[in-house]
Structure 1
Amino acid sequence: MMPAVPYGGLALCGVVFVFLSVLASGCTAQAPADGKMLVAVTIPPQAESVGAIGGDRVDVLVLVPPGASPHTYELTPGQLADLSRARLYAAVGSGVEFETAWMERIRELNPDMAVVNCSEGVALLPDGDPHIWLSPANAKIMAENVCDGLVAADPAGKEVYEANLAAYLGRLDALDAAVRSEVGDSGCQAFLVSHASWAYFARDYGLVQIPIEEGGKDPSPRQIEEIVVRARAGNISVVFAAPEASNRSARVIADEIGGRVVPLSPLAGNYTENLRAAAAAIAGSV
């Protein structure tokens, strides 16, 4: 878990200075210079839906940039300044560590900013996996919540947002059909991943996710042995590793099974394109 206060050294001074300066100025959320509504999101996959639904009426601010981990990322002074201008924050809402650590301070920084919980209505798995967006079915619910948030923040754009939502939901339906066909035709039953991020994807498409690391902990020698046995029994020769995190354990397992490590990011932008590519990679891993 992240420490309660994720700061250190000079970074602390810079972030706190900006944070206090914004608060002291009494700054409230304002529209960007181009007149568009600034909407903040936590991770890159959310940017696609907000941009698709918001269209020309919104600018999107991604807080955890591509390649960074939401488990450890610290906001920069520049991002804090940008956040002070946002009118809406579309939070994932499923327990992403970045949001757990920063939400209170973000609300204090910009108390006039509306916050929408994109996980509202999503059936959360009991294992606590926060990666709800890796299910197209969940992504549809998240998109509907985004639309509701945009309409509430900008009622004048209601017709635009709802029309764009309908079009985006159609894209997600097409994505779901393509993934279901890709995985179903492959005969794949299980896949090996470095981190337990793909539980919702596995649930939707009748797959078993075999994680190497759980709770951020490297596997013990006995766990490695068990994973190797499962991989060999399932004829698995690919270990999928998130490029945002260490793949040391993935390389160890790959060496043991005579396989290879393939990058598979749960956080990539271009959400629909990334999930199609993920489905193809998983389907071809056996």
Structure 2
Amino acid sequence: MSGILTVIALLAVVLPASADPLSVFVSVLPQKFFVEAIGGPSLTVHVMVPPGASPATYEPKPQQMVELSGAALYFSIGVPFEKAWMKRLSSANASLKIVATDEGTEKRAMAAHHHDGDDGHDHHHGHGLDPHIWLSPRSVLTQGRVILRALVAADPERASLYRENYRRFAASVVALDLELMERLSVLPEGTPFMVFHPSWGYFADDYGLEQLPIEVEGKEPKAGELTALVERAKAEKIGVIFVQPQFSRKAAEALARSAGAAVEILDPLAEDWDENLRRVAEALVVSASRRQ
């Protein structure tokens, strides 16, 4: 059992018979991990975007709207579907409090892919801010403080429990960050890795790596852009291209064939957040060792 999961297990306390769990919603699965770690069995946590679905295009189901009507809190995080749906989610429950867990987090610009334009000039494409803040342990500490404040405000009787849970959770996140730093220290500063969707920018920033995305904002590369990416992959001796299960692998597989690289899956939305980041670090170290 992972360190953070062990902490969650240790936090399981027997609630008074009269204390009903607080019903809360989160947008994506990694948030469930954070909220349960801080809230423990005092909460029932519902996840809006199910496994395999994309938080860019998801549309809540009728049953979820029914469940939302009984929720006290909704922990948003800034993923695209929220922009289209948050007002409607709020209207389903007048007493629902929306908690923006990205509050206080400085967001990076969404990664851009690069190509040579027809006019002979270089062009970069990529607009807006990167929502994948849950993939940075350092950002998760900030998100955790926002979650803690909201739980204490909504359920002050359990405030001391939530504060103790957060203290232990934060200690585990710091330990994980140090572990990842140590594992990734074998890679030279600026080591590049190629991904289909630019989900890993915060992770790359934290550990001194460079993310090279194939697509940006849901747009697969055109033929000329794909050629430029193949050339970049060969120049950087990229041995592995990482894809995620929420997106088509077609463009990545075509690029991999041309560049002589393998294709592997990394899921930025995995629920086992700490173990997932360990898997990512290990995959990056192994892929770097396979650079041609």
Aligned partners of 2:213, 2:172: CA distance in 1, in Å? 30
Aligned partners of 2:152, 2:261: CA distance in 1, in Å? 49
Aligned partners of 1:166, 1:242: CA distance in 2, in Å? 32
CA deviation map 1:159-193 (0-9, x unaligned) = 00000001111111111111111111134701000
Aligned partners of 1:272, 1:89: CA distance in 2, in Å? 23
Q: Which amino acid aligns with 1:251?
A: E
CA deviation map 1:146-171 (0-9, x unaligned) = 11110111011110000000111111
Alignment of 1:95-174 (within 5 A): 96-127=79-110, 128-174=129-175
**Corresponding residue number in structure 2 for 1:89:** 74
Aligned partners of 1:144, 1:160: CA distance in 2, in Å? 14
Secondary structure in 1 aligned to 2:66?
A: helix
Q: Please say if 1:211 is aligned against 2:213.
A: yes
Secondary structure in 1 aligned to 2:214?
A: strand
Q: How many residues align?
A: 252
2:58 corresponds to which of 73, 85, 90: 73
Alignment of 1:1-286 (within 5 A): 35-92=20-77, 94=78, 96-127=79-110, 128-187=129-188, 189-286=191-288
Aligned partners of 2:227, 2:174: CA distance in 1, in Å? 40
Aligned partners of 2:217, 2:97: CA distance in 1, in Å? 32
Q: Which amino acid aligns with 1:273?
A: E
Deviation at 1:34, TM superposition (A): 8.0
Aligned partners of 1:119, 1:73: CA distance in 2, in Å? 19
Seq. identity, %: 40
Q: Which amino acid aligns with 1:63?
A: M
Query: Is the deviation greater in 233-242 or in 155-164?
Result: 233-242
Aligned partners of 2:228, 2:181: CA distance in 1, in Å? 29
Secondary structure in 1 aligned to 2:182?
A: helix
Aligned partners of 1:35, 1:279: CA distance in 2, in Å? 39
Is there any run of 5+ residues in structure 2 with no aligned partner, and where? 1-17, 111-128
Aligned partners of 1:235, 1:34: CA distance in 2, in Å? 58
Aligned partners of 2:145, 2:286: CA distance in 1, in Å? 32
CA deviation map 1:107-160 (0-9, x unaligned) = 111120111110111111133111111111001100111111101110111100
Higher helix share: 1
CA deviation map 1:242-262 (0-9, x unaligned) = 111111111011101111110
Deviation at 1:235, TM superposition (A): 1.8
Aligned partners of 1:141, 1:237: CA distance in 2, in Å? 35
Q: Which amino acid aligns with 2:217?
A: G
Aligned partners of 1:183, 1:235: CA distance in 2, in Å? 18
Aligned partners of 2:213, 2:164: CA distance in 1, in Å? 40
TM-score by length of 2: 0.84
Aligned partners of 1:186, 1:110: CA distance in 2, in Å? 49
